[in-house]
Amino acid sequence: MARRRSALLVLCSVPVLIMGCTTDKAGQPAPTPTLTDALPGDPGAGDAYYPNDGNGGYDALDYHVDVGFDPATRHLDGDTTVTAKATRNLSRFNLDLRGLDVKSVQVNDKPAKFTREDEFELVITPAEPVAKDSMFRARVLYSGTPAGAQLSGTGESDIGESGWQKSASGGAYVLGEPHSAAYWYPVNETPLDKAAFNLTARVPDGWSAISNGREEGTTSADGWTTSAWSEPNPVASYLTTLAIDKFTFERSTLPGGVPVVDAYAPGAEARRAAGSQVPAVLAFLATKFGPYPQSAAGGIYLDENLHFSLETQTRPTYARWADISTVVHENAHQWFGDSVSVKSWADICLNECFASYAQWLWAEKDGSDLNDRFLRAVEKYKNSKDFWAPPLYDMGPGQEFEGVYDKGILAVHALRAKIGDEAFNRVLKEWPAKYRHSNASWSDFEEFVTAVAGQDLRSFLDAWFRGTTIPGDADLFPGTLRR
């Protein structure tokens, strides 16, 4: 019986039918494939900087994450189902999960064997191999106290290291880049495998939870409040988040009907001045980058002294110090980073150089002379080796964020001067359209911008984005910046 059922699953080709299909198209039991050639999935997705992050052998399509978290005990209960498609005949496969105790794993409703290996590999062996191109569901039950969830909410420790932190008011939040999801659910933790994301969060009455995407309702029973969130667009796992606090919520709708949900943690109410501008910011950015690509909008405003805010999809998470410029930056990421995601972490300038340049575009709207700003910055840094040292492409693991926020802005402005406003404006709109809700690399961008500009940009791009010293005068002051 077990074997037969698996064979039938394999032959169902329509995703909706997979869950309950029992016969093939002709209504006959399907033949059993042998799958003698089934292979294990890879334990890493092969990023040059974080080779063990993510896994190979399948493509995750959808997550249903169900978690309960009690701020008093810091205990988490999790029940996550990943729906995926095998990309080879799979004898076993991995999910990434950091810490937490796994109680059971099922694949297509049947108990599966599992082991924990290395730092964060959950190795799952289903009762039978999964055939290439077939869909399967892996359900993992787990619990425990997440690493970092005990840490006090000063934001002094580096959030990227633990994913979780305790908020100032005793709540908790989990976020981080380049990875954070494996700290709270089993996941294919690579930006290359974006998937739809659904969350049900259970917290004691009096607390509330907020996450990505659309709010799907809140219910209360037995002293626990349960809220549901769903993000139908593909999301890179590091852009998913969960924040639990005694939030004040603000809800509205963008002119096109996109729902806006803002959550202000106790003490963060002053962020409303910036948060209330999200609709205006998105409207402005849409004039530059094309239609807003996400299903929902808003913000999670923490009263935490985080080093960074983060562009969590649809709903960025903000540090205590966030201002309108931060709001512009994180929302620009909804196009640059969230919709168009990196292929590898070496490509991070595609996210940060452009999100940072959006802050200049916002200032330009208010009358700032960007050429002047550029020239003053170059004057200020022209003798600083440190300023020019970080390459904007392939900067090395742990160094992703060194040059992209400052040198990155100048590089994008120089690119604009080099190719002219008309081509530059086309790039800003056509790039997010071409790679909407997918992945792109820095070389994809070089190829794209060269085609739009219709000129050879090789030495210019090398000098600004791959170089480690100040560009020579011809590249430093191109086009309208020529002196």
Contact pattern from residue 396 through residue 435 relative to ligand TRP, giving x for each residue in contact according to CB under 6 A and a dash for the rest: -----x----------------------------------
Among 38, 122, 159, 182, binds ligand TRP (CB under 6 A): 159
Cα distances (Å, whole numbers) of residue 337 to 353, 361, 441, 442, 449: 10, 18, 11, 12, 17
Among 146, 148, 176, 408, binds ligand TRP (CB under 6 A): 176
Amino acid found at 192:
L
Q: Please say which residue, 47 or 352, places its beta carbon nearer to Zn ion.
A: 352
What's 464's DSSP letter?
I
Q: Please say which residue, 57 or 176, places its beta carbon nearer to ligand TRP.
A: 176
Q: Please say which residue, 56 or 408, places its beta carbon nearer to ligand TRP.
A: 408
Among 148, 160, 293, 432, binds ligand TRP (CB under 6 A): 160
Q: Does 311 bind ligand TRP (CB under 6 A)?
A: yes
- Nearest 10 degrees: CA dihedral of 171, 175, 179, 182? 40
Among 69, 136, 207, 308, binds ligand TRP (CB under 6 A): 308
**DSSP bridge partners of 92:** 40
Q: Please say which residue, 90 or 172, places its beta carbon nearer to ligand TRP.
A: 172
The residue number whose beta carbon is nearest to ligand TRP equals: 308
Q: Quick one: which of 310, 231, 318 has its CA closest to 277?
A: 318
Q: How would you classify the pairing of strands 242-245 and 208-210? A: antiparallel
Q: Which stretch binds ligand TRP (CB under 6 A): 278-286, 307-315, 415-423, 441-449?
A: 307-315
- 367 contact partners, CB below 8 Å, separation of at least 6: none
| Pair of tokens at residue 185 | 């659910």
Task: State in angstroms the smallest separation of the CB of 120 from ligand TRP.
Answer: 17
Question: Can you tell me the distance from the alpha carbon of 348 to that of 416, in angstroms, rounded to the nearest whole number?
Answer: 19
Q: How many CB atoms lie within 10 A of CB 169?
A: 17
3-state secondary structure of 388: helix
Question: Can you tell me the distance from the alpha carbon of 449 to that of 457, in angstroms, rounded to the nearest whole number?
Answer: 8
The contact set with Zn ion (CB under 5 A) reads 352, 355
Q: Quick one: which of 161, 89, 96 has its CA closest to 130?
A: 89
What is the 3-state composition of the chain as percent helix, strand, coil, each rounded to the nearest 5?
A: 30, 30, 40
| Pair of tokens at residue 274 | 């910036």
Task: State in angstroms the smallest separation of the CB of 467 from Zn ion.
Answer: 22
Task: State in angstroms the smallest separation of the CB of 303 from ligand TRP.
Answer: 16
Q: Please say which residue, 82 or 322, places its beta carbon nearer to ligand TRP.
A: 322
Q: Please say which residue, 57 or 160, places its beta carbon nearer to ligand TRP.
A: 160
* 8 Å CB contact between 42 and 104: no
Q: How many CB atoms lie within 10 A of CB 91?
A: 17
Task: State in angstroms the smallest separation of the CB of 465 from ligand TRP.
Answer: 18
Q: Please say which residue, 35 or 187, places its beta carbon nearer to ligand TRP.
A: 187
Instruction: Tell me whether residue 21 is exposed, middle or buried, using C-beta atoms within 10 angstroms of its C-beta: 0 to 12, 13 to 18, 19 or more.
Output: middle
| Pair of tokens at residue 420 | 């002219």
Amino acid found at 319:
A
**DSSP bridge partners of 62:** 83, 196
Q: Please say which residue, 9 or 355, places its beta carbon nearer to Zn ion.
A: 355
Q: Which option in Zn ion, ligand TRP, none does residue 310 bind, with CB closer than 5 to 8 A by kind?
A: ligand TRP
Q: Please say which residue, 188 or 359, places its beta carbon nearer to Zn ion.
A: 359
Q: Which option in ligand TRP, Zn ion, none does residue 160 bind, with CB closer than 5 to 8 A by kind?
A: ligand TRP
Q: Which option in ligand TRP, Zn ion, none does residue 347 bind, with CB closer than 5 to 8 A by kind?
A: none
Task: State in angstroms the smallest separation of the CB of 157 from ligand TRP.
Answer: 11
The residues in 6-45 that bind ligand TRP, with binding defined as CB under 6 A, are: none
Q: Which stretch binds ligand TRP (CB under 6 A): 174-182, 209-217, 425-433, 443-451?
A: 174-182
The residues in 338-377 that bind ligand TRP, with binding defined as CB under 6 A, are: 352
Among 168, 199, 228, 310, binds ligand TRP (CB under 6 A): 310
| Pair of tokens at residue 423 | 């081509």
* 8 Å CB contact between 111 and 90: no
Task: State in angstroms the smallest separation of the CB of 333 from ligand TRP.
Answer: 6
Q: Quick one: which of 144, 145, 175, 143 has its CA closest to 162?
A: 175
Contact pattern from residue 177 through residue 196 relative to ligand TRP, giving x for each residue in contact according to CB under 6 A and a dash for the rest: x-------------------
* 8 Å CB contact between 78 and 135: no
Q: Please say which residue, 164 or 477, places its beta carbon nearer to ligand TRP.
A: 164
The contact set with ligand TRP (CB under 6 A) reads 159-160, 175-177, 308-311, 329-330, 352, 401
